[in-house]
Every structure is written in structure tokens, then in C-alpha cells.
Structure 1
Amino acid sequence: MPARPRLLVVEGALRDNGGLRISHDFAFRWTREGHRVRFLVLEAVADGPGVFTPEPELDVVFASPRPGRFRRTAPRILAETFGQVRRADVVVSGSEVGYQLLFGWLATRVLRKRFVMLVQSRLPDAVAAWTPGRLRPLLSFVHRRVDAAVCVSPGLVPDVLAAGVPAERIHVARVGIDSDEVLRRAGRDGGPERGSRPRIVAVGRLARQKGFDVLLDAFARARGAGLDAELVVVGEGEEREALEAQAAELGVADRVHLPGHVPDAQTIIAGADLFVLSSRYEGLGLVLLEALAHGVPVIATDCPTGPRHVLDDGRHGELVPVEDADALGRAIRRHFERPQDRRGGGVPSQQRARTFDQAAAAEDLAAYLESLASTG
């Protein structure tokens, strides 16, 4: 029996976010199943809130051992990337943007290895949000020349095709969660965390993409119409001060809580009376799946591309237009004032979450990578 291909997963830094969690989970599951896997992290970051801790079983290598200015560390990072790619058969970039994509692709072209791009967000949005203008032509050049693009949801495929990736090089991985593990984590530390009032919960990086400014506006409108509830937004990011100022200006600061980064938000999600995803765009939306796994009712923006896919065209939660605070506010009020009109929640939502099985996704993707290596 031929040896399994050596897999190298490349990430930019261990900053806790949904994209990193997906790439890490794949690498960890492959390791546990006996695949030869290494997880290469390009930049070291200082310890503190928001830093992700990999599983101890995972073989993690840092291209730069200490935090430092990228201009100074880049030569070392590039050299280490070449060294690690030399030992691999297939290289997987954990993102569709960033230096992990550029350095990883360059090394595979020189060393004649297979290169896979994990697409976790819409390409136009990701490029606009995370890539300086001077690097965008280079990024587009690389996108067209990957050996494979693995999309975490079907809705991401059109943008990948538009970027010039041939259809035969595109694979969709039905990324999901481990529902049993999510429920187990919610049972720790005293179980679900509940508020003294009906509680609305949102989770994500405090960044423009997540649309928390729209959510605050919607919440204020619902409060103004008589809703007696509180809003908890879990996460940290560059929009914190702006969101705090907005809550004060809207007169809802006493009902809005921003607890910052929480290593595991499952007890908070499980205790919610309503979960809201207000994003302007999402590749998939793992937090939606986590809310469904707990049986929590969901309202989400109908943003490109994940929520409609996760909620099965609105059968397992209400979809509202993107950036429409009035529509979102009405949906929030309707949830509490007319329980008979709610969509989603309970056992059907939990069953829906289980159709997104991360173990099955990892097995399917490993088989795809093996087939790719065999044709290299």
C-alpha cells in the first residue's frame, strides 16, 4: 500500500477566528486519522486575548520563532516556507488571501509540489478587506494558477470561477461542526449562561464585515418599540470603540454588553433566547451552525454566501436583507412578540446542524488531496 501524501497546511498567524479554526480542525483530524500532517504558521504573535492554541497532537512549526516586523522577518519566513514545502507532497493554504497564499504558492511552483487554496470567504470581499492595492494583481495571478480551490460552501464557487479557476479544479467541502462536542462544551462551567432579561447573542470579530453597527441600530429600533431585552456581542476587534460610542449615542449602552474575546462562547450561545448573525458577507458561518446545534432560534442576514446555505433557504431561521436595520429590528421584535411565527430552533435545528458533519468533511477532503497528489 503506497504511503499517504505528506500534507502541509499553511496559516499566517494564530489569531483566533473562524477561518483558522477550520484549517486547524482539518489538520488535527487528519493527524488523528494517521495522515502525515504539518501545520506551518508564518508569523509568531505575542500571547494574549485572541491568540489561538493548537491541539497538542498537531505538529506545529513556526517560520518566525518570535514576533517582529514583517519586513525584517520575511526573508526567514520565506526560507522556512521553502524548507517545509520541500518535505511535503501537497500544500494547503488556509486562506484565499495573505502571505501564506503567496509564499506557499511560490514555493510549490519552484519545487514542483501541488498547491491547494482553501476558500473561506467571497474572493472579492476578502481581497478588498485584507489585501493592499499593490498586491492585488499578484494575488489574482496566483488565484488563477492554483492546482485546486476548495470552497467551504457552494455559494463561493461562482466567484472562484470568475477569478479564472477552471471548474475541474474546484472542490466543495461540506464544512461543519462536531455537534456532540459543541453541546459538551456548553455543559461545562455550570452550563448555559442566561441573562436576567431575554438575551440576544451575536459572536464574531468586531469588524465591519460582521455588521454589528447594523445590529446595534436594529436593536435600538426594537428597544424603542418596547422590546425589553439585552444584547451580548462576543468578540474583539478594531470596531470596539466605534460600537461603544454608537451604543451610547443610540441610548442602549446599558443593555449592550461587549465582553471581548471569549476562548469558548458555547455557554453564552446555548443560553441565548435568540442568535443573530448580521454580517455583510460570510463564507459559511460556523457560529450559525453552533447556534442551531444548541436549538437556539436564529435570524441572519441573507448575505453572500453562507447563511442561506446553512439555514436551508430560511427553513431553519429567518433571513433578512443585508444592511437593513429596519428589517432586522422588525424581525427581532417579531421573534419575541409573536412566538408562533418563529422559524427554526429546537430539535429540527439541531438535526439540521448534524447534516454539516466536520468529520465527514475532513475525510472527504483528505481523499481529494490524496487523489490530487497521485496525479502530480
Structure 2
Amino acid sequence: MPSDSKRILLVIRRLGLGGIEQATITLANALHHADHDVHLLVLKDTPQQSPAPGVTVHCQPFERQARKTPKGLALHLVGRTLLKAVLPGSGFVWQGLAVTPLFERFLAEQEAAHGAFDMILIRGQGAFELLWPFDDKRCWQMVEAVVGDYEGRQTQPRWLIRKLFDAKRVICVSQGLADGLSEHLAARDIALERCEVIHNAVPLERVRTLSEQADEPIPDTPFLLHVARLVPEKNPTLLIEAYHKAVEDGLDTPLLIIGEGSEQAKLDALVKRLGLEERVQFLGRKANPYPWMAKASALVLSSNFEGLGLVLIESLALGTQCIATDVPGGIREVLVDDQARLIAAPNAQDLAAKMQEALDQPVTVRPQWAERFSEDAVVPRFLRLIEPNAA
């Protein structure tokens, strides 16, 4: 490793196939390719994807290990029985008290054998909750989802929010998230030590390369495309209702949907009830959705919130215009300039209108809209936080 190489530990609860997991893999790979010593710690389950060779992966099921200790088992049983009823939502507090010592022991062993880490990044609330007592000036919590009160969601009591965020050093993946988090914490008299905004990186060249590797025929005729998990937070019901409204108003371009999830049966029934079987096609999950994204007339995103919106950046990297709902998070940081005119109010009528507008008056995508999120643009911002005088 070069003399200026840094040792960096990324911590995530699970390494599945979602957006946070993909962003973590991208960052780990980018740091490794920049000649840094990168370690990825997975706290639960078998990883479903792997980073580049050279990134060291540690799988440590600390939750399960903790329950094998007297203290951990006692906290688990008391938390699951008495405290679950008396203090709803507090389960992570007792888990964290048992898990964090195991993490600290792992960290000490690694550093004794290989040298100190220069930065520790804990990604996602699931990992925050398991490691909330951990206190180290090298540590940053990465906030990647909207925090706060919205859509009628019940927020946690103040004392639980304090456990997660009070006096912590936080990196938010969009300014929208940072603003929402700041407002949420200020209303509860909770103060962060520091808050930085660093967008997630996207491997733009990899996305472009994969877009040229179609393994099945893709229509040459115009189509709208939705790429997301079919889960409530992505609000695919709004997508179908808006598309139906657009069809009633004269739109004749088909809608293709890539993704799987808990809403599939509900969406199938809705498509049939609205008589859209010939116009809406569910393609399931695709390991490589990029050839479809490159050929789409527009990508449509109907989420209730987006931490940043990685699929929007990927779409822009392929020259495909985007339609998205104006919701909490980072949508307006991704869709800028002329592309911002295709941001819709989060209702069926306005989203339908933006579908038609995209087809009638398409946006010409500018390369710089995606380049802002390249690995080369993002990685140095993390490294600057390691500098001794960074403030």
C-alpha cells in the first residue's frame, strides 16, 4: 500500500441487494481502487453480493453471539418480554448493550494485528441501533433514509432518538436528508457533534458497460420504465394509478416494471381491475436492468421518499430522462436544471401529466448531471474527513 494509504472499516447490518447495500459495495470498491486498505464488516446473515477482490469482508453475527453470553442472553430475554411491553421500541437499546462490546473486541483484535483504522463508517439505521453505545472520534454514522415524522409514521420517543444521534458524527447522503434530520433533532433538543453531506457514489462506467450487455430482446418501440423494489415505500400503487390516469388522457406508451416485492399480488390485482393487462408488463427482478434503462423513453419513480435516488443517477448516466415524485430526501439534488421540470407532486394526476410531458417534450440529458456522483468526485470527500485538521 502507498505511504498515504488509509485503513477504512465500513459496517453494515446486512449485505443484501438493496440500495444501501449497493452504495456500500460501490464505496468499498472505489476506496480500494484508490489504494486504500478497505474492510467491510457484515453484522447479520450471509452476504448476497461481494465487493472487489482486495476488499476484506468480515461476517460477524454479533447478535447471535451476544445471546450466547450470560449478559447478552439476560438482556435479550428481558428486552423481549418485560421491556418490550413497558418501553415499546426500545429493543435496540438492550441489543446494543450486548452487541457493542463484541464489536469493540473485534475492532481491538483487528487493530492489534494489522494497525489502527483511520475511519469507521457505520451505514444504515439497523447498524446504528446495534452499535449505538460505540463512541470513537474516527466513527461516522451514514444516514441514507429519511428520518422523522411523515406519512403518519410513528416516531420513536425522544430518549430513544437521543441514543442514536446525540453528540454523534453523521454523514447524510443528501442535503434533503440533512435538513430533515436537523429539524427532527432540533425539535427534540438533540444535537449532533457534526453533520456532513456526501452523496453516494455511482460506478458510472460500470453502469454504461452493463447497459451494452443485454441478454434478451428489448423493445425498439417507446416504453416507460419503473425500476425499484415493489414495496410500500416505493409506492408502486401510485405509479399504476397515475399511469391509468395518463392512459385515460390519451397516453398509449406501455409501462414496463422491473422489480419484485411484497406489493406484487396487490399490483397484479390493481392492473387487472383497471384493465391495463395489455399495457403494463411486470418483468420481475433483473440482475442487469441497465440495457432496459438505456432504451427507455423515461424512467418513472413514484417513491414516498428517497435518500438520494441511485436509480435516477444511473438513468441519467445512460442518457435517459427521469420522472419522479417530489418527496422528502434527495430527489431535487439529482434532478436539476431542465430535468427538474419532470418532478411531479406526489399524486396520480400530476404524475400522469409528467409522464405525458416527458413523451411530448423530452428532456435532453446532460452528462454533467450524472458525473457529479462519480466515484472520483465522491471518494475524496470522505478522505478529507480523515485529515487531522478537518473540521
TM-score category, normalised to shorter length = 0.7 to 0.9
> Which of 295, 310, 331 does residue 271 from structure 1 map onto?
295
Larger Rg: 2
**How far apart are residue 219 of structure 1 and its match?**
0.9
Amino acid at match of 1:361: V
Amino acid at match of 1:189: A
- TM-score when normalising by structure 1: 0.82
Partner in structure 1 of residue 79 of structure 2: none
SS of residue paired to 2:283: strand
The answer for unaligned runs of 5 or more in structure 1 is: none
The answer for unaligned runs of 5 or more in structure 2 is: 74-97, 112-116
- TM-score when normalising by structure 2: 0.79
Distance 1:208 1:351, change over 3 A: same
**How far apart are residue 179 of structure 1 and its match?**
2.5
Q: Contact 1:198–1:228 at 8 Å: present in 2 too?
A: no
Q: Contact 1:63–1:80 at 8 Å: present in 2 too?
A: no
Number of residue pairs the alignment of both structures matches: 353
SS of residue paired to 2:282: strand
> Which of 355, 364, 369 does residue 345 from structure 1 map onto?
364
Alignment of 1:4-153 (within 5 A): 6-45=7-46, 51-64=48-61, 80-86=102-108, 87=111, 88-95=117-124, 97-98=125-126, 100-106=127-133, 108-109=134-135, 112=136, 114-124=138-148, 137-146=159-168, 148-153=169-174
Distance 1:297 1:72, change over 3 A: farther
Is residue 187 from structure 1 mapped to residue 184 from structure 2 by the alignment?
Answer: no
Q: Distance in 1 between matches of 2:178 and 2:29?
A: 26
> Which of 285, 288, 304 does residue 261 from structure 1 map onto?
285
Is residue 335 from structure 1 mapped to residue 362 from structure 2 by the alignment?
Answer: no
Q: Deviations over 1:10-69 (max 9, x none)?
A: 111111111111122212222222223210101114x8xxx333333321111129x989
Distance 1:367 1:201, change over 3 A: same
Distance 1:286 1:84, change over 3 A: same
Distance 1:34 1:127, change over 3 A: farther
Q: Distance in 1 between matches of 2:36 and 2:150?
A: 30
Give the stretch that moved more between structures: 193-202 or 261-270.
Answer: 193-202
Q: Contact 2:251–2:356 at 8 Å: present in 1 too?
A: yes
Is residue 240 from structure 1 mapped to residue 241 from structure 2 by the alignment?
Answer: no
Partner in structure 2 of residue 173 of structure 1: 198
Q: Contact 2:322–2:339 at 8 Å: present in 1 too?
A: no
Q: Contact 1:188–1:267 at 8 Å: present in 2 too?
A: yes
Q: Distance in 1 between matches of 2:310 and 2:224?
A: 18
